[in-house]
Amino acid sequence: MRYKLHLLLFFQLKKYKFDLQKAVNTPVNAIAPTSGAHLRDKLTRICALIAGQPVDSGNKKVTSRDHPAGALFCKNLFANKIVVSAFFFCTILLGPRSNSSACVVVVV
């Protein structure tokens, strides 16, 4: 919670925070049951961002190392998106008694 406050207090970091959100949300939202390589690519992008390596976010590269709380912010956002997505897939799309599995659940 402290890292969120730290990022939110600095108005000049608003664009940086948006770029980090975009870098996390884009791969998570693109997870689909296409292939194992597709899923691996999305997970690799998220892991690279959390590790502080530069990743593509739109037309530019962004890294979580530009701010001390950047990696923690990305981890929290990724965890939140995955849990919400897994809950949505398991309870709403698949039904409570389904034996099927969703790609997002595999990531969790």
26 lies in some domain = yes
94 lies in some domain = no
Q: What is the pLDDT of residue 108?
A: 52
**Domain total of the chain:** 1
22 lies in some domain = yes
Q: What is the pLDDT of residue 51?
A: 92
Q: Tell me which DSSP letter residue 89 carries.
A: I
The pTM is what?
0.71
| pLDDT per 10-residue tile (average), the chain, 108 residues | 60 80 87 80 89 87 86 90 75 55 52
Query: Rounded distance, CA 97 to CA 108, Å?
Result: 19
CA dist 53 → 60, 86, 94 (Å): 13, 26, 35
62 lies in some domain = yes
6 lies in some domain = yes
Token pair 């809950």: residue: 87
Query: Rounded distance, CA 7 to CA 9, Å?
Result: 6
33 lies in some domain = yes
51 lies in some domain = yes
Domain membership of residue 25 as a residue range: 2-76
Query: Rounded distance, CA 20 to CA 61, Å?
Result: 10
13 lies in some domain = yes
